[in-house]
């Protein structure tokens, strides 16, 4: 599995490096124009057009990179390289796990790279005095690291990561399902519609889970709370409890039913995709 993951990363790193290089180029151009305008330059139509197009291209890079990463599995399913992938001494779970880990690595690289390219471009282009003033202003705010809402930050990072993996596995399951032959008919190219239907069904199930299981986990002390205990006199119209999680008075409450259902969906999508790849794909 480790060698297969290395092969996956090696096969796509050039695209990722190209995307990062383009991000650095565009961000450098943006900062050059911003510097010119901020320090007495005239606003030009050409510069404004470049700035607008640049933001659109950056957005397109993000979307294109996302599609490129998730299409790694689709290429194995529909192109000749699938003969190599599915004849390796790996089971379906190992193949899917490698795809998910590889995608996760590249998503993190692109996210961190986007932030770093902005910092690098800004540090190179903008005057050093501006950075000195910014650091001095931040130091005067006297913000203590320990005073930051770390519990909320960490929870959101973990929640975002988990939800992202659920979406990724749902996409992979849709791709694998659309590759299955039924009655000698292959339903290629409909994975996106399958994904939309699954996403709607999952959203509905999560909504019903919140209704059927009106209990919440308090992540401050890991106790179980009812809606009445959470609200404790707060008008119901002030807080939306029809969500997977909510925050009240620095407490994080996660609906128990939706959390368990999310775990079931995650495991089901992983095992389902693995089983289809291992047993139902007709090379």
The tally of CA atoms less than 13 A away on the side-chain side of residue 187 is 13
Q: Do residues 238 and 224 make contact, with C-beta atoms less than 8 angstroms apart?
A: no
Q: Do residues 273 and 166 make contact, with C-beta atoms less than 8 angstroms apart?
A: no
User: Measured between alpha carbons, how far is 218 from 222 in angstroms, rounded to an integer?
Assistant: 5
pLDDT classification of 118: cutoffs 50, 70, 90: confident
233 pLDDT exceeds 80?
no
In this structure, the chain runs to a length of: 283
User: Measured between alpha carbons, how far is 247 from 184 in angstroms, rounded to an integer?
Assistant: 52
How many helices (H) and strands (E) the chain has is answered by 9, 6
Which of 24-28, 152-156, 229-233 is most confident? 24-28
pLDDT classification of 267: cutoffs 50, 70, 90: very high
Q: Do residues 209 and 261 make contact, with C-beta atoms less than 8 angstroms apart?
A: yes
pLDDT classification of 235: cutoffs 50, 70, 90: very low
Structure tokens at 13: 């790193």
Structure tokens at 267: 């495991």
> What distances in angstroms separate CA 32 from CA 23, 125, 129, one per listed residue?
14, 6, 16
Q: Do residues 203 and 170 make contact, with C-beta atoms less than 8 angstroms apart?
A: no
Structure tokens at 236: 């119901």
User: Measured between alpha carbons, how far is 50 from 157 in angstroms, rounded to an integer?
Assistant: 33
Assign 180 to helix, strand or coil: coil
Domain ranges of the chain: 1-143, 149-283
Give the torsion through C-alpha atoms of 77, 78, 79, 84, to 10 deg.
Answer: 20
Give the tens place of pLDDT for each residue, 54-110: 889 888 988 888 888 888 888 777 776 666 676 777 888 888 898 899 889 988 899
Percent residues over pLDDT 70 in the chain: 76
Structure tokens at 101: 């880990």
pLDDT classification of 157: cutoffs 50, 70, 90: confident
Structure tokens at 194: 């399958």
Structure tokens at 144: 């203590």
User: Measured between alpha carbons, how far is 109 from 69 in angstroms, rounded to an integer?
Assistant: 12
How, if at all, do strands 215-218 and 223-226 pair?
Answer: antiparallel
Instruction: Report the first-to-last Cα separation within the chain, whole angstroms.
Output: 21
| CA-based nearest residue to 4, from 68, 76, 66 | 76
């Amino acid at each position: 599995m480790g060698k297969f993951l290395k092969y996956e990363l090696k096969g796509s790193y050039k695209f990722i490096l190209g995307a990062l290089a383009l991000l650095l180029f565009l961000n450098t151009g943006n900062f050059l124009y911003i510097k010119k305008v901020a320090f007495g330059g005239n606003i030009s139509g050409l510069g404004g057009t470049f700035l607008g197009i640049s933001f659109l291209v950056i957005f397109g890079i993000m979307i294109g990179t996302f599609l490129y990463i998730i299409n790694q599995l689709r290429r194995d399913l529909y192109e000749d390289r699938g003969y190599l992938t599915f004849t390796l001494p790996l089971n379906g779970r190992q193949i899917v796990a490698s795809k998910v880990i590889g995608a996760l690595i590249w998503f993190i690289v692109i996210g961190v790279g986007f932030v770093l390219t902005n910092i690098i471009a800004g540090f190179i282009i903008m005057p050093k005095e501006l950075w000195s003033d910014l650091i001095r202003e931040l130091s005067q705010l006297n913000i203590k690291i320990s005073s930051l809402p770390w519990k909320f930050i960490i929870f959101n990072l973990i929640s975002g990561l988990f939800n992202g993996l659920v979406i990724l596995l749902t996409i992979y399951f849709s791709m694998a399902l659309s590759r299955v032959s039924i009655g000698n008919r292959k339903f290629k190219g409909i994975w996106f519609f399958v994904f939309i239907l699954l996403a709607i069904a999952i959203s509905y199930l999560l909504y019903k889970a919140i209704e059927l299981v009106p209990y919440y986990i308090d992540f401050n002390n890991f106790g179980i709370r009812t809606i009445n205990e959470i609200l404790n006199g707060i008008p119901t119209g002030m807080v939306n409890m029809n969500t997977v999680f909510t925050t009240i008075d620095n407490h994080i409450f996660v609906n128990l039913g939706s959390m368990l259902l999310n775990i079931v969906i995650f495991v089901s999508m992983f095992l389902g995709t693995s089983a289809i790849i291992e047993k139902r794909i007709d090379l």
